[in-house]
Amino acid sequence: MISMTASENNARITVNYAGRVQGVGFRFTVCRIAEPFDVTGYVKNLTDGSVEMVAEGNSSALADLHRRIRKEMKGNIASHKMDDSRATGEFQSFDIAY
């Protein structure tokens, strides 16, 4: 679990990962990958079989996080769609959402 103050948040990414991303430990792997990054948000399974990640932090950390996820889980990710927006500061940590 990562903590940071809302004032440090300046960017937000919402990523939808499709492929073989459910039932393979994808969410747990994303949380492990996120540990060293100063980010907040969540990762969760969606009913359509994809996984959504919402992360807030500085732009560089978010880009590095997304790059590491794609690299480590490349055998599972068939495609992804990412949207950028402004951070809301609503998260206190990075966790799995249910």
Spell out the domain ranges in the chain.
9-96
**What is the CATH number that goes with domain 9-96?**
3.30.70.100
Q: What is the pLDDT of residue 75?
A: 97
> In the predicted model, what is the mean pLDDT of residues 4-8?
47
| pLDDT for 8 beyond 70 | no
Which residue would you say has higher pLDDT here, 57 or 10?
57
The catalytic residue positions are 27, 45
Continuous H helices in 1-98? 26-34, 59-72
The encoded tokens of residue 12 equal 């937000």
Q: What is the pLDDT of residue 9?
A: 52
* pTM for the structure as a whole: 0.90
Over residues 33-91, the pLDDT tens digits come to 999 999 999 999 999 999 999 999 999 999 999 999 999 999 999 999 999 999 999 99
Residues 6+ apart with CB under 8 A from 2: 34, 35, 37, 38, 39, 40, 93, 94
